[in-house]
Structure 1
Amino acid sequence: MKKPILTIITFFIVAVQALAQNITTPNVEQKDDQSTIIKKIETNSQYTIVTFENYAYQDNAWLQLNKEIFIQTDLSNAHYEYVKSENIAMVPNKNVLKKAGDKLEFKVYFKKIPSAAKSIDIIEHAGLSRPGINYFNFYNVSLTEQAAATNHVKVTDVVLLPPPPVAADTASTGLFNGSPSNYMQNAMNSMGPMYASMAKSVLDAQLAYFKQPGKIAEIAKLNKDYFDALVKVGFNYEQALKIITANGLISKSSSVTGQ
């Protein structure tokens, strides 16, 4: 009777270890690319397979994969290297997501990791990232704990209504029998060119500001950091995109003054 019992126990241990490495939406302690999530990690008899989903935070966003990507477990410094992938372009080619909000799901196959591993790092590019480029680097990805559910915050559209009409004050405007006085007519005529000149000055100042070397790239980087920060604190991708498009960090008025 001892041999069948040992066989059952061994089978049970192997089954538990296998299940521990098959997880959906695993908890991730830190990641470099806020627009990509890990949907699933599974290990079969040949590979450890990671399913990713990338979300376009702007029009014409692009992504690509370096074949140098690897997995490192909590057990050792050994690298479990890239084997193959599905539905993602390899460097130097690119996948382009035409519209903000588009999604791309893809899979990456790695050499099989040990069954005793409880967490992994996924590293596409070790070291400092280049400006404007985020790599698929995920740190301390749990193989036993799922990510906490995101608290969805409802973002509603804000509709701006025109102000209510102001009743005409005939005493102050000098109206008599429905016709403006000569004084008010002359004042209004003189204000027209003044407002036109002010509008032109504002527009010229804006154009000069944005033409400064590196200014467009600086603003784009700031908006990207803003988007990543919104996602990191709990907004989903749609909400973060809506916030940065409706309430940019750089307003038109501040750009005119060069702030």
Structure 2
Amino acid sequence: MKKPILTIITFFIIASQAFAQNIITPKVEQKDDQSTIIKKIETDNLYTVVTFIGHAYQDNAWIQLNKEIYLQTDLNNAHYDYVKSESIAMVPNKTILKKAGNKLEFKVYFKKIPAAAKSIDIIEHAGLSKSGISYFNFYNVSLIEQAPKITDVVLLPPPPIQRDTASTGLLYGNASNEMQNAMSSMGPMYASMAKSVLDAQLGYFKQPGKLAEIAKLNKEYFDALVKEGFTYDQALKIITSGSLISKSSSVPGQ
């Protein structure tokens, strides 16, 4: 009776070791491609499989994979090479994401890593990347610790203008009429002021290179949000809910 029990226990120990490296949304210490996340890592009898999700941060964004990509574990300097992939174009071909916000989920199969590994590096292109190109380089990806969950960021609208309701209805007769006349006369003045501010803003944005400068600033803001741990959707929600540059600061001299 004891022998079958020991056999079952041994089986479960072996099975647990075989699948110990399976993890969803692993913790990543650093990465070069801020628009791509690791959904999960799985190790079976043949391969270590990494599932990625790439995001388009602009219309007609493209994504591709180099077959030179490999894994390296915390155990030694051995490389576990690319075997095959699914749902992504290989260099020189490209997968096009037509609309900003579109997602591409794809899998990359590598040679099986040792069961004792606790973390991996994923290297598509070692060293500094070419200008404007981000490679699938992920460093110190944990096989035992998940990334912290971040709740959705909710941006609240500004509070309503507080009105002194205690003074309502306290003006009578001529005083009330004079107040109404004064407010009516101020209408054209406010309209003229609003037009002047709008013209100043338009003039500011028409300066050579100004729109490109603002676009670059917003892109850097988006990348910084993702690098700090926000998901792509959360970062996109933040930068689209309100401009990084306030309207008042867009007017020269303000």
Normalized against structure 1, the TM-score is what? 0.72
Q: How far has the Cα of 1:108 moved from its partner?
A: 0.6
Could you list the per-position Cα deviations for residues 95-118 of structure 1 after superposition, in whole angstroms to 9, with x for gaps in the alignment?
232333322110011122222222
CA distance in 2, matches of 1:85, 1:25: 19
How far, CA to CA, are the matches of 1:254 and 1:130 in structure 2?
A: 34
Distance 1:10 1:241 in 2: 49
Alignment of 1:38-187 (within 5 A): 38-148=38-148, 150-155=149-154, 158=157, 171=178
Whole-angstrom CA distance in 2 between matches of 1:204 and 1:94: 40
Work out whether 1:15 is the aligned partner of 2:10: no
What is the letter of the counterpart of residue 250 of structure 1?
I
Check 1:145–1:253 CA distance in 2 against 1; reply closer, same or farther (3 A cut).
same
Indicate conservation of the 8 Å contact 1:152/1:236, yes or no: no
- Report Cα offsets for 1:126-169 as digits up to 9, x if no partner: 22234443221111112222333x131341563898999xx997
> Any conservation in 2 of the 1:155–1:239 contact (CA below 8 Å)?
no
- Correspondent of 1:226 among 221, 224, 242: 221
Q: Which residue of 2 aligns with 1:239?
A: 234
Say if 1:75 and 1:218 are closer, same or farther in 2 by CA, change over 3 A: farther
- In structure 2, do the counterparts of structure 1 residues 22 and 171 end up closer, same or farther at CA, with 3 Å as the change threshold? closer
More divergent stretch after superposition (122-131 vs 228-237): 228-237
Change (3 A) 1:94 1:78: same
Kindly provide the amino acid, as one letter, of the partner of residue 202 in structure 2.
L
Indicate the SS of the match to 1:85.
strand
Distance 1:147 1:91, change over 3 A: same
- The equivalent residue for 2:168 is none
What's the CA shift for 1:73?
0.7
Tell me the percent identity.
Answer: 67
Query: Structure 2 stretches of 5 or more lacking a match?
Result: 164-170
The CA distance in 1 between the partners of 2:152 and 2:81, in whole Å, is 39
- Asked if structure 1 preserves the Cα contact closer than 8 Å seen for 2:200 and 2:252, the reply is no
Could you say what secondary structure the match of 2:84 adopts? strand
Change (3 A) 1:227 1:109: same
TM-score (norm. length: structure 2): 0.74
Q: Does the C-alpha gap of structure 1 residues 131 and 217 become closer, same or farther in structure 2, counting only changes over 3 Å? A: farther
Q: Partners in 2 of 1:14 and 1:20 — Cα distance?
A: 10
Greater alpha carbon shift after TM alignment, 195-204 vs 18-27: 195-204
Change in CA separation of 1:139 and 1:202 when aligned onto 2, cut-off 3 Å: closer
Residues 55-110 of structure 1 deviation map (CA, whole Å, 9 limit, x = unaligned) = 33444333222222111111111111112211112223322323333221100111
Structure 2 distance, partners of 1:105, 1:84, is 15
Q: Using the TM superposition, give the Cα deviation of residue 197 of structure 1 relative to its aligned residue in structure 2, in angstroms.
A: 7.0
Q: 1:207/1:138 Cα in 2 relative to 1: closer, same or farther (>3 Å)? A: same
Choose from 240, 243, 246 the match for 1:248: 243
